[in-house]
Structure 1
Amino acid sequence: MDPRLEPLFTPWKIGNCEIKNRIVLTSMGGTNLLGWMEKHHFDQEGARFIMEVAKNNAGLVLPGCQPVYNPMYGQWLYKNEKMYEDLKNWLPKFHETGAKLFVQLTAGFGRSFTISTMMETLYTNKLLRVLSKPFMDLDKITATASPSPNRWSDKVPSRELTVEEIKEYVAAFARCAKLLKEAGVDGVEIHAVHEGYLLDQFTLKYVNHRTDQYGGSFENRYRFPVEIVQAIKKECGDDFPVSLRYSVRSMTKGFREGALPGETFTEAGRDMEESEKAAKYLQDAGYDMLNCDNGTYDAWYWAHPPIYMPENCNLTDVEHIKRFVDIPVVCAGRMDPRAAAASIAEGKIDGAGFARQFLADQEWVTKMMEGREEDIRPCILCHNGCFNMCHYKGVPNDQDLSDSLHLSRCAVNAETMQWDKHYIQKTSSPKTVHIIGGGIAGMEAARVLKLKGHEPVIHERSGILGGTFIPASAESYKEKLRDLLTWYRRQMGLLNVEVHLREEIMDTSQFGNAPVIIATGAAPRLLKGVPGYELMIEACEYLNGREVGEVVAVIGGGLTGSEIAYELALKGKKPIIIEMKDDLISQKGVCLANSSYLREWFALHKVPVYLETTLKEVREGSIICRTKDGKEVEIPCDSVISSAGYISTPLVDQRKNTYLVGDCKKVGNLRSVVWSAYEAAMKI
């Protein structure tokens, strides 16, 4: 192990609870022990994930947050006593790992509850609203400190929570905590004065306009989380640890408007001055640890940092807040282990929180300890699998129901949290399998086939493995994607996969009856109907190194075009975005944390964006566009980059034992590429 990492592997205490090292798995919805958005039960799939993390040397493990009032079915968490018995029977095996378990409890989401189009229909139709109450009471689920707009939808506003309801929640926290303690859980964490969830909404002045004992003064705004910890300590004793998930700063300008790193702004929520006071106040109320980051749902990229956010984005603020408390402080949010270790060594923080990296590779801590960091499958911060709640103009949460109900799956690891669907089973009849295309899909298929006992052979027409993922990972801020590409190439070597470079296959008949996987990807959609289209530079050409001028028009404001425009601006160029739709990144599968960062970054840096605008002509030195009101406008520019999407380009093969994977089957994202390749390899 790198000696610089050693401070991560020293013991520490939360109250009287000793933790063997400073690695903390922070909670993610979907990794729950007692069910997620379903009837409460001891969740075997969540337990398997938690056990894998514990066996692989995490010190403190926090499963996904458990609402004390279930948004689905309206069930209180303390009412199903059997699941606590099941948890009690499971915990001795967990504790054999040496890890400690805190269960995170939440009062819920309030105005941050992710509303879908179906939920809008349930709420706006009076009859459906009544009929749906037994399994989804949106009026109760979305209630908050004061009447407020929902983060996702204008059609489902949030009403004010009553004092009677607040008292009911406080009592529920205490009852759940007692049951968890009796089951053998080492502590609980309260979620949270954090991320703009319900409890945080009470503390934030831009949401809370109450005039009773839960609004107005500082003490009143923080009364709800204070009463919760006091009730738990009364029920469970002072020696039962209670952590608090805590956002140091809200980094929020107002409803649905965050503040970017380095931005000068007026804080609408909790600023550092208030946080210094609040941290000590919450400690004195009884909390034994602060598990910290920044942000709210209105500034979601702080709590769920996309790849555009800087590494260790919350560390400086968390180090600052530790100076005002005597209890342990954990920092989370795109943490680099070496930076975390250095901060721990200097006494600036006490623990380091990690989440999504555990989804990509449950063994990553063990590999780090053993000096095998090159074997760690990296998280690329995409949110495609784990947290793809998507939002754009006119549409609330655009997310498949299966994704809403099954969070914390992973784009780069098809097995995580779906072991019953994706698994390696050794074959009894090994075959040679030819794979046409050496991009991510081809390499993932080869990896799974080799682990099953087959002999995959990759045929790649270029001189290097990687396919379109090479340009896709080329931007300066995409080092994590380049790490994933390196990991895949290394796997091909470690597994001794046969690879033929500079070999283009046009006809699969030469392989006889052998199975064939076609992973030939997609081709760019060229705007050949636009006069002057030949003057445009295709997106991958630019990403592969083609030079551009000073002012660059990017045709297409989807994710690829927006990321290219972002890269151009980072390099000092002057991008202009032309998009036919009424919003940027108006596409399913892109998490709001990712898309809102880019939209707000372009607005802050005054990048010209033409929405509902169509390219009509490309000229030397300008483009002609038609705006939504039918007017033609000439926009001067030095270069034009086309990012108009991609078209599947499968190699035609009529044989039965041929499988299409990745973008040649259907253009998607990295998740669809990896999962489809895994599934095809499973079938052989």
Structure 2
Amino acid sequence: MKQQLEPLFTPWKIGNCEIKNRIVLTSMGGTNLLGWMEVNHFDKDGAKFILEVAKNNCGLVLPGCQPVYNPMYGQWLYKKKKMYEDLAKWMPEFHKTGAKLFVQLTAGFGRSFTISEMMETLYTNKALRVLAKPFMDLDKITAAPSPSPNRWSDKVPSREMTVEEIQEFITAFGKTAKLLKDAGVDGVEIHAVHEGYLLDQFTLKYVNQRTDEYGGSFENRYRFAVEIVKEIKKVCGQDFPVSLRYSVESKTKGFREGALPGESFTEAGRDMAESEKAAKYLQDAGYDMLNCDNGTYDAWYWAHPPIYMPENCNLEDVAHIRKFVDIPVVCAGRMDPETAAAAIADGRIDGAGFARQFLADQEWVTKLMNDKEDDIRPCILCHNGCFNMCHYKGVPNDQALSDSLHLARCAVNAETMQWEKHEIVPTTSPKKVHIIGGGIGGMEAARVLKLRGHEPVIHEQTDHLGGTFIAASAESYKGKLRDLLTWYRKQMADLKIEIHYNEKVESIAPFAGAPVIIATGAVPRVLKKVPGHEKMVEACEYLTGTPVGEKVAVIGGGLTGCEIAYELALQGKQPVIVEMKNDLIAQTGVCLANSSYLREWFAWKKVPVYLETTLQEVKDDSIVCKDASGKEITIPCDSVISSAGYIPNPLAPKGSNVSLVGDCDGVGNLRSVVWRAYEVAMKI
């Protein structure tokens, strides 16, 4: 192990509970031990993930948050005793790893509850609302400190919680914590005065307009969180550790308005002055640890940092708040292990929280300890598999139901939380398999085939592996994507995959009789009907080095176009975005944490954005467009980049012995490429 990392692997205490090292798995929805958005039960998939992380040298493990009142079916978590008996039987196996387990409990979501189009229908139709109440009582699920707009939908507002409901929750926290303690769990974490969830909403002045004992003054706004820890300590004893998930600052300008790194703004939520006071107040109430980051659902990119956020984005704020308490403080949010280790060594923080990296590679801590960092499969902060709740103008949470029910899967690791259908099974009939194309899809297929015992052969028309992912990872801020590409190339070398470079395959006829996987990608959509289209630079051409001028029109405001515009602006150029739809990044599968960052960044930096606008002509020094009213507008520019999408380009059609993977099977994202390649390789 590198000497710089050693502080990460020193013991520490939360109350009287000793933790073997400073690495903390922070909670993620979907890694739950007692079920997620379903009938509560001891969840074997969640337990498998948690145990795998614990076996691989994580010190403190926090499974996914458990609502004490489950939004689905209206279950109180303390009422199902059987699952606690199952948990108690499992805990000795967990404790053999030497790790400690805190279960995170939440009061719920309030106005942050992710409303889908189906939920809007259930709520706005009175008859359906009554019929749905036994399994989804939206009126109760979305209740907040005060009437307020939902983060995702204008059609399902939040009503004010009653004092009786608050007391019912406080009692439920105590009863649930006692059952967990009796099952052998080492502690609990309360979720939270954090991220704009229900308990946090009570503390935030822009949400909480109450005039009773739970609103108004500082003490009243924090009363709910204080009464919860006092109840748990009364029921479980003073020595039972209780952590608090805590957002140091809200970084929020108001409802649905976040504040970006470096932006000057007036804080609508918790500012640092209040946080200094609140941290000590919560410690004095009985909390034994603060597990910290920043943000709310209105500024979601702080708590769920996309690739555009800086590494260690919350560290300075968390280190500052550490000065005001005597209890341990953990920092999470794009943490770099070496930076975390240095901060621990300096006494600035006590532990380092990591989440999605464990989805990409459950063994990453062990690899870190064994000087095998190059073997760590990196998280690329895409949210495509783990948390792809997306939202754009006029559309609430546009997430597939299968994704809503199965969070914590991973775009770059097809196996995570999908072990029943994605598991390496050795072949009983080894074959030579020809793979046409050495992009991510081709390499993932080759990797899985080799692990199963087949003999994959990659035929790549260039002198390098990577395909279009080279362009996709080219922007300056996409180091994690380049790390993934490096990881795949190393896998090919370590597995001794046969690769034929500079070999353009024109036909699969020479491979007759052998299985063939085609991974030839897609070709750019060319706007041939637009006069002057030949003057445009295609997106991938720009990303791989074609120069452009200072003022650049980007045609297409999807994710690719917006990321290109972002890169242009970072370079000091002047991008202009032209998009046919009524919002930027109006596409399924792009998490709101990612898309809201870009939308708000363009607004902050005053990047011109033309929505509901279509390109009519490309000239030498301008483009001509038509807006929603039919008015023709001319936009001066030096260069034009086309990001109008891609069309699948398979070398041959699917057949009995021919499979397609990647974008040649259907243009998607990295998740669709990796998962499809894995599944195809498992069927051969």
Which category of TM-score, normalised to the shorter sequence, fits these structures? over 0.9
State the match for 2:6 in structure 1.
6
Instruction: Report if aligned partners of 1:251, 1:258 keep a CA contact under 8 Å in 2.
Output: yes
Structure 2 residue 676 is matched with structure 1 residue 676: yes
Partners of 1:453 and 1:652 in 2: CA distance: 26
Partners of 2:546 and 2:661 in 1: CA distance: 29
State the match for 2:28 in structure 1.
28
Instruction: Report if aligned partners of 2:433, 2:457 keep a CA contact under 8 Å in 1.
Output: yes
Instruction: Report if aligned partners of 2:435, 2:459 keep a CA contact under 8 Å in 1.
Output: yes
Partners of 1:327 and 1:546 in 2: CA distance: 54
State the match for 1:123 in structure 2.
123
Structure 2 residue 53 is matched with structure 1 residue 63: no
State the match for 1:433 in structure 2.
433
Secondary structure of 2:623's match?
Answer: strand
Shift of 1:654: 5.7
State the match for 1:175 in structure 2.
175
Shift of 1:312: 0.1
Structure 2 residue 542 is matched with structure 1 residue 542: yes
Please give the residue correspondences for 1:485-634 in structure 2 after superposition, counting only pairs within 5 Å: 485-634=485-634
Secondary structure of 2:629's match?
Answer: coil
Partners of 2:477 and 2:161 in 1: CA distance: 43
Letter in 2 for 1:45: D
Instruction: Report if aligned partners of 1:439, 1:519 keep a CA contact under 8 Å in 2.
Output: yes
Secondary structure of 1:5's match?
Answer: helix
Letter in 1 for 2:669: N
Instruction: Report if aligned partners of 2:147, 2:159 keep a CA contact under 8 Å in 1.
Output: yes
State the match for 1:138 in structure 2.
138
State the match for 2:43 in structure 1.
43
Shift of 1:175: 0.1
Residue 654 and residue 330 in structure 1: after superposition, are their counterparts in 2 closer, same or farther (change >3 A)? closer
- What per-residue deviation string (whole Å, max 9, x for no partner) do you get for residues 589-629 of structure 1? 00000000000000000000000000000001000000011
State the match for 2:74 in structure 1.
74
Partners of 1:639 and 1:169 in 2: CA distance: 59
Partners of 2:2 and 2:590 in 1: CA distance: 35
State the match for 1:476 in structure 2.
476
Partners of 1:106 and 1:654 in 2: CA distance: 48
State the match for 1:448 in structure 2.
448
Shift of 1:463: 1.2
% identity of equivalent residues: 81
Letter in 1 for 2:531: P
- What per-residue deviation string (whole Å, max 9, x for no partner) do you get for residues 431-450 of structure 1? 00000000000000000000
Structure 2 residue 156 is matched with structure 1 residue 156: yes
Letter in 1 for 2:525: R
Partners of 2:388 and 2:488 in 1: CA distance: 24
State the match for 1:225 in structure 2.
225
Structure 2 residue 371 is matched with structure 1 residue 364: no
Question: Aligned Cα RMSD in Å?
Answer: 0.4
Letter in 2 for 1:51: L
Shift of 1:651: 1.1
Q: Gaps spanning 5+ residues in structure 2: where?
A: none
Letter in 1 for 2:500: H
State the match for 1:300 in structure 2.
300
Instruction: Report if aligned partners of 2:33, 2:63 keep a CA contact under 8 Å in 1.
Output: yes
Aligned residues: 684
Structure 2 residue 346 is matched with structure 1 residue 338: no
Secondary structure of 1:395's match?
Answer: coil
Q: TM-score, normalised by structure 1?
A: 1.00
State the match for 1:393 in structure 2.
393
Secondary structure of 1:476's match?
Answer: coil
Partners of 1:141 and 1:15 in 2: CA distance: 33
Secondary structure of 2:75's match?
Answer: coil
Partners of 1:253 and 1:438 in 2: CA distance: 46
Shift of 1:375: 0.2
Structure 2 residue 105 is matched with structure 1 residue 105: yes
Letter in 2 for 1:334: R
Partners of 2:664 and 2:441 in 1: CA distance: 10
State the match for 1:236 in structure 2.
236
Instruction: Report if aligned partners of 1:456, 1:497 keep a CA contact under 8 Å in 2.
Output: yes
Runs of 4+ in structure 1 over 2 Å off:
none
Partners of 1:292 and 1:617 in 2: CA distance: 51
Partners of 1:232 and 1:455 in 2: CA distance: 58
Structure 2 residue 666 is matched with structure 1 residue 644: no
Letter in 1 for 2:64: G
Secondary structure of 2:547's match?
Answer: coil
Instruction: Report if aligned partners of 2:654, 2:660 keep a CA contact under 8 Å in 1.
Output: no
Secondary structure of 2:18's match?
Answer: strand
Shift of 1:655: 3.7
Shift of 1:504: 1.0
State the match for 1:186 in structure 2.
186
Instruction: Report if aligned partners of 2:209, 2:216 keep a CA contact under 8 Å in 1.
Output: yes
Instruction: Report if aligned partners of 1:508, 1:653 keep a CA contact under 8 Å in 2.
Output: no
Structure 2 residue 204 is matched with structure 1 residue 200: no
Letter in 2 for 1:493: A
Instruction: Report if aligned partners of 2:260, 2:597 keep a CA contact under 8 Å in 1.
Output: yes
Partners of 1:655 and 1:102 in 2: CA distance: 51
- What per-residue deviation string (whole Å, max 9, x for no partner) do you get for residues 195-218 of structure 1? 000000000000000000000000
Partners of 1:391 and 1:630 in 2: CA distance: 27
State the match for 2:309 in structure 1.
309
Partners of 1:475 and 1:603 in 2: CA distance: 21
Instruction: Report if aligned partners of 1:54, 1:97 keep a CA contact under 8 Å in 2.
Output: yes
Q: TM-score, normalised by structure 2?
A: 1.00
Letter in 2 for 1:344: I
Please give the residue correspondences for 1:404-415 in structure 2 after superposition, counting only pairs within 5 Å: 404-415=404-415
Partners of 1:126 and 1:538 in 2: CA distance: 50
Shift of 1:529: 0.7
Residue 24 and residue 654 in structure 1: after superposition, are their counterparts in 2 closer, same or farther (change >3 A)? closer
